[in-house]
Amino acid sequence: MQIDQIRTFFIELQDNICDAIANEGKEHVISDDWKKDSKQTLAGNGRTRIIEKGNIIERGGVNFSDVKGMSLPSSATATRDELKGLPFRALGISLVFHPLNPYVPTVHMNLRFFCAGDIGEFTNQTIWWFGGGIDLTPYYLFEKDACHFHKECKKSLDNFSTSYYPKFKKACDEYFYLRHRNETRGIGGIFFDDFNELGFDRSFELVKRVGNSFLPAYLPIVQRRKRLEWGQREKKFQEYRRGRYVEFNLVYDRGTLFGLQSGGRIESILMSMPPVANWSYAFKPREGTPESKLYRHLKPFDWINFEKDSTA
């Protein structure tokens, strides 16, 4: 069955990523299998895998869920009236890693499959689509890392259409944007939603390519930066910038809103929050400091064609 293929892939991807990160930093990964019964608003099951106080990851998680409900919440139907009142099934994998070292960036990935209407059997009457993306949130900007990350994102899409990377990058820049701060959350990546234009098999293959690009995109950055020395100044700045992450997730993120509105599992929904964040009144880094470099790139930027030869 087609949905079973998606479920199998998401679970295997969860294991592959957790194993790779655990091996890289000798991290201890906690697994939490959970189930919501049919008496609740949302029924289904999943597995949350958490790393806390690790050697590389201060707090992170990779969550798999497979849930059903009688009607989609407003966050999912805001732009699609035809979905209102329909039963749905949603499968997804979501991850966020908040590293200990401020020179290692935070990373986020989400891949999901929704179907609505006839969810008992996957038929021509079933409304279905994929969504997701991957994005990077550095605290100290290294051009080499940003270029590498975007090139891996592009590589995962080019076999399907060379138009997808610029289209999905633009969507990512627009989605992960804090309007009240007039800045992007990080240096972007790719983002897509309501995607089914290639038919089921090819659309699913695209999602698999994006998912499998995570480790090649992120792990080399971790390996380059994890041994850089840092102190209280760098940690304080990291925690200040983590505040932006909290603001976005609680104010704008549709996935967080979907989970809360649909009666999802709170611990899994909020696993994306950093362990520590802070806010400073009217803070602005001094021009010319390592911290100020980040602020010059909190806007849409062409990392694929960035020509500076940076080995930093």
Rounded alpha-carbon distances, angstroms, from residue 120 to 53, 77, 96, 280, 292: 42, 21, 31, 51, 53
Q: Give the distance, in angstroms, between the CA of residue 27 and the centroid of all CA atoms in the same chain.
A: 20
Instruction: Report H helices in the chain.
Output: 2-25, 74-77, 143-158, 164-175, 199-212, 214-225, 232-251, 254-261, 266-269, 290-295
- Specify the length of the chain in residues: 312
Task: Identify whether the C-beta of residue 187 lies closer than 8 Å to the C-beta of residue 205.
Answer: no
Instruction: At 295, list the tokens.
Output: 């602020």
Strand pairing of 127-137 and 188-195? antiparallel
CA distance 38 to 46: 14
User: CA 285 to CA 273: how far, in whole Å?
Assistant: 24
Q: Enter the tokens of residue 40.
A: 């609740």
Q: How far is CA 170 from CA 26, 36, 103, 112, 301, in A?
A: 36, 36, 26, 20, 10
180 is catalytic: no
User: Cβ neighbours of residue 162 under 8 Å, at least 6 residues apart?
Assistant: none
Q: Which pair of tokens denotes residue 109? A: 């990935």
Of 28, 98, 108, 150, the catalytic one is 108
Q: Which residues are catalytic?
A: 108
